[in-house]
Structure 1
Amino acid sequence: MKVIHYCQHVLGMGHFFRSLEIAKALDKEQVIFVAGGTKPNQELPANVKYYQLSGLCMDENFGGLMPTTADRKLEDVKKERADSIFRLFEKEKPDVFLIELFPFGRKAFRFELIPVLDAIKEGRFGDVKVICSLRDILVERDDGGKHEARCVKYLNKYFDLLLIHSDPKIASLDETFKALNQITIPYTYTGFAARQPKSDIRDKLRKKYGIADNEKLLIASAGGGKVGGELMNSVFDAFSAMQLEKTRMFMFTGPFFDQNKFDKIYNSAADYENIIVEKFATDFTDLLTAADAMISMAGYNTCMDILTSGTPSAVLPFNQNHEQRMRAEKIAKHIPLKILESKDLIASGMEDVINTLLIRNRSTQNHGIDLDGASKSAQAIRKSG
């Protein structure tokens, strides 16, 4: 089976890594991973061929698209991308077109998706099944139902299957998509698509990084890094002032973190032997199992990493929409999880957070949340094709 897997991340990396887990689970299939954001420095599995579109991302005010290459015109990039995707389908003639998020999001990318979907509908590429890959919680809309009506229209016209990467006892789609009962195509909950750490990796990684048995390791992460600067500054200032003995901190600002802000933190860290600042860790999920605590933004993948690792954690939800806070609050009903507020970002507040996390034990409780979403998604995709 040949799968063209479309994933466009415009802000963080959550969409990319969730999609990559599903591509990994399709290990017996040929996956052409079509992406239009900045590619993270991440090794891809052998079954995945990466197809890079000319880059587009959200502008700094989240008001519209802009090219990731500064000297390019938006309309030129859009035309190039649309032509490129269409030619890819003409050449590859896949069995499955797996689209991440659209039509529930990525409305701005209709210019390149609708022409392909129309051509699939007309049979121009052969018999291609179209599947939507959707996360658990959608961003709220205040448009009188126009967005939901458009989603239903596109789903029922173009798509064959909807995969919802959630455990419905934690988050069901109808909580944030009221028109669910108007969808006429089949849909299924797959469980959360979680990255799984390697087994028995904790001791190996602690040895690799020279962390003694009596030392504590705190990880601070801003996810993709386009947001989270305030959190990184707060954690760095608090941790460096505390001068904790036998405690280290690894800080990962994210690959999209502002370079000037990164340089400031990185240079400041040079004065402390127990602080390491990097943009990204390819072994982040494994490394989290070696940690004793984590402070991070509250994206989908981070929350899943907390569930798979059991690491004592505190998360700061992105405040421009309710998605991250809603997910964090739901998960906090099943595991000990500190949800950070603005008061926690002041020096004394963050010191309290760090101290509390470092004395907590790793969670070993069976939370009962379905984290097998990648495998179940792959099974559903194979069955559809």
Structure 2
Amino acid sequence: MTRILFYVQHLMGVGHVFRAMRIVKALTAAGMEVELAYGGEPIPNFQDNGARVHFLPPVRAVGEAFNKLEDPSGNPLTDEYRNRRREMLLGILSQAEPDVVITEAFPFGRRQMRFELLPLLETARRMQPRPVIISSVRDILQETGKIEKDRDTINYVRSLFDHVLVHGDSRLVRLERTFPLAGEIADKVLYTGIVAPEETPASSAGETYDVVVSVGGGALGRKLVMAAAAAKELSILRDARWCIVTGLRFSREDRAELLRLVSGDVVLRDFLPDLPSVLKRARLSISRAGYNTVADLCMAGCRAIVVPLSDGIETEQIRRAEILDANGLAETLSHDMETPQEIAAAITRVMARPAPDRPRIDLEGAENTARIISELAAGRSVAGYR
């Protein structure tokens, strides 16, 4: 049986945790044994999906500052806290004796966690037999604009990793679109397809809405939620049934303001455990353009308006939205169009067009990841995923 140590750390958003758990489910379904080292705060609806979960002392980002870390009580990380996490992680590695070690995001992200990841990877490389070491990344990266930072990433990949699994469809976007030095590690890069939710048969059962507004965790979704709520009365879908999913980090004060804005048939939820199924029954989705949201949209097949997060720093969602728009897969609004009037106008445009043709996209990223890892653990070639 193939044994896997999978490291996952969330600092603010939780989308990549759910992507990782979809992968874990495919790995365990394929008969692999997964040890999951989980370093973030607990989140609702987290499921182990067959993995043995090791909860490290939690770490989170300070506000929106990803380069500053704190413990759950809001205290800056101490050397003792870092040492405790590092020793726990090395203990998990020693006990698991994995055939494969996977780091989610690192070294393309999670560089704040080098204090424990570098010792983990260096120790793994000295093990006999040595595990296959893999970086697991989404298809579109946050662009740094700093060549020295990208050079450091290349050096880490070259010295510590055997492969980089890019969870995207290479026909839509390749790694070099957002990582300019990708050509230097082309021999290590493998494309898995998009890690989408499991496809379920179309059904009228469950919650059913015409329009679903969602913003992921909600930390940076307030403006879109408020604009979409106000757009309802201005739109051709004013009499339709809407569901607005605010996210778990939507404040009580913002919810009170939202209640003053909504009218007609509107349901407010802070979280939908089965968003993909709800979207499959919907006529329209209005959302950000995060990885999991787009994966859900591609699986659901409904019409979509995406408004990428744009805070002057974030680039990943902007690039994703550009690609969706260019391929006719969604109507995209820029951040300066995040108003009730523009959203209402976009609803008119998107509802006048046929539903997008998304079946041509490779949505078997989780299953393909399991196949790739099985082959790599057995020492076989996987050239077909380049």
Give the TM interval when normalised to the shorter protein.
Answer: 0.7 to 0.9
Shift of residue 220 of structure 1? 0.5
Residue equivalent to 2:22: 21
Cα distance, 1:177–1:262 mapped onto 2, change above 3 Å: same
5+ long unaligned stretches in structure 2: 378-386
Query: What RMSD in Å do the two structures reach over aligned CA positions?
Result: 2.5
Q: Does 1:310 align with 2:301?
A: yes
TM-score by length of 1: 0.88
Residue equivalent to 1:9: 10
CA distance in 2, matches of 1:237, 1:307: 26
Residue equivalent to 1:249: 242
Residue equivalent to 1:368: 360
Contact 1:344 1:353 in 2 (8 A): no
Displacement over 6 Å in runs of 4+: none
Residue equivalent to 1:382: 374
After TM superposition, list the pairs within 5 Å mapping 1:1-385 onto structure 2.
1-26=2-27, 27=29, 28-44=31-47, 46-67=49-70, 69-75=72-78, 76-123=80-127, 126-143=129-146, 145-183=147-185, 186-201=188-203, 203-205=204-206, 209=207, 211=208, 217-239=210-232, 246-265=239-258, 267-268=259-260, 272=263, 274-319=265-310, 320-357=313-350, 361-363=354-356, 365=357, 368-385=360-377
**Amino acid in structure 1 at the alignment position of 2:173:** A
Cα distance, 1:379–1:336 mapped onto 2, change above 3 Å: closer
Contact 1:303 1:328 in 2 (8 A): no
Shift of residue 295 of structure 1? 0.6
Shift of residue 357 of structure 1? 4.4
Cα distance, 1:13–1:46 mapped onto 2, change above 3 Å: closer
Q: How many residues align?
A: 371
Cα distance, 1:199–1:68 mapped onto 2, change above 3 Å: farther
CA distance in 1, matches of 2:360, 2:114: 38
Deviations 1:81-118 (A, max 9, x none): 22221121122222211111111111111001011111
TM-score by length of 2: 0.87
Contact 1:56 1:65 in 2 (8 A): no
SS of structure 1 residue aligned to 2:119: helix
SS of structure 2 residue aligned to 1:15: helix
SS of structure 1 residue aligned to 2:318: helix
5+ long unaligned stretches in structure 1: none
With 87-96 and 48-57 compared, the bigger mean Cα shift is at: 48-57
Shift of residue 241 of structure 1? 6.7
Contact 2:236 2:348 in 1 (8 A): no
Contact 2:24 2:49 in 1 (8 A): no
With 161-170 and 107-116 compared, the bigger mean Cα shift is at: 161-170
**Amino acid in structure 2 at the alignment position of 1:188:** L
SS of structure 2 residue aligned to 1:6: strand
